[in-house]
Structure 1
Amino acid sequence: MRLARVTMIWATLTVAVCLPIAAAAASPLLAWRGPIYIIAGFAGIIALGLVLVQPLLIGGYLPGLSAYRGRRAHHWIGGALVVAVVIHVGGLWFTSPPDMIDALLFSSPTPFSLWGVTAMWAIFAVALLAALRRRLGLRLRTWRIAHIPLAVVIVIGSVVHGMLVEGTMETMSKAALCTLVLGATIKVMADLWRKRSTSRGESSVRQ
């Protein structure tokens, strides 16, 4: 029974991440896109999939991974997320610099650009804080105070950006992935809040 549950969890995650990529690969719109634009677009889809994996790792919901391995995987996938975003933005910059300048300056007429750029800066901010955490001497509590709000911005910005973009991503698989991203994030936030409340209650009882 436990093996079947582990297999189901990993299979569900694999399908959730890979199905939107496969659906986008079958899109007829790719026939009118250049190779750099296509690479940039798929980098964005992969980035959205990685955003789903991150809360699952930090919440300990992926079986077969110890807490330590989960944290290490969270760290490395965070780096992969930064790379995917850089490829996504860099490719779009190469194909249309004026549009990207407008997006980065928050002056683009397309609403999805605002959400995407906001999520991008939040991702970069988390990556920078993670890289400088030891040098800055950030304690776990301080790190969480900075990281959790930025993570919420990343999730909301990424989901809204993805849903508003009308491109090669298939609508149903995209909506399913975005729903899972939101659901996983809400679950982690609720669990963290419950653990904090429990620890505070135990502390007050001891006193």
Structure 2
Amino acid sequence: MHRSKKIVITVLYIIIVAISMGAFFIFQPFSFVDNGKSKIACDNGSSFEIGPNFIYTFTDKIDSFNDAKARKICAYNIIRDYGNAYKTPQSSNYGFKPVYIKNSSWGDAWLILVATFLLGSIFIQGIKRVFFESTKDPLFTEFFKWNFFAVVFIFLGIILFLIVIRKPARHIHCQLQIAQKVVNFRNSAFQGGIIPIPEENAHINSSIKTLYETCIGSL
């Protein structure tokens, strides 16, 4: 193979390594509160699942908006008091009992990394056959041998990932994480076919920026 063709194929493999690492980064596992199963235990002995009663959290704690709803349901056994017909108890009258759910796993993330690399390699093979009229792939063969080529591909792929791919991968991962949390609440609250409530949508939308910044800061 001509030197220029080898360079093109080498660059493509480096890009595939970087993209594969990006896919791994995007699908890394994370845990979050399951609003459908988590509960509040009231001081009066009663308990309620939070999501079905329109109480939710996208972090580890219940915020002030949902704290007021939790206090009211424990005190008055009512939900959706958006007009504040009932006075919010001044002191907390419940305990939060979170149940966590895990999204994906490290095994899944590694599987996606390998699958992405293999699909990318097949794509490169297609390019070679179409443009370079080659059915052999010495570079592909060398990659799977732990030698100089493998070290170079991986090292340069890591550099490309850190410089170019990592930032958009972080963005996508956090967007997926936030969407998963919001869907989890909505599925628990609206499973009975209730029409989404404007007050809830407004609060969720106002929380997304903070959730995104927190997620980005943790990666």
Fold conserved between structures, TM > 0.5? no
Higher strand share: 2
Larger Rg: 2
Query: With CA pairs under 8 Å and 6+ residues apart, which has the higher RCO, 1 or 2?
Result: 2
TM-score by length of 2: 0.27
Decide which structure has greater helix share. Answer: 1
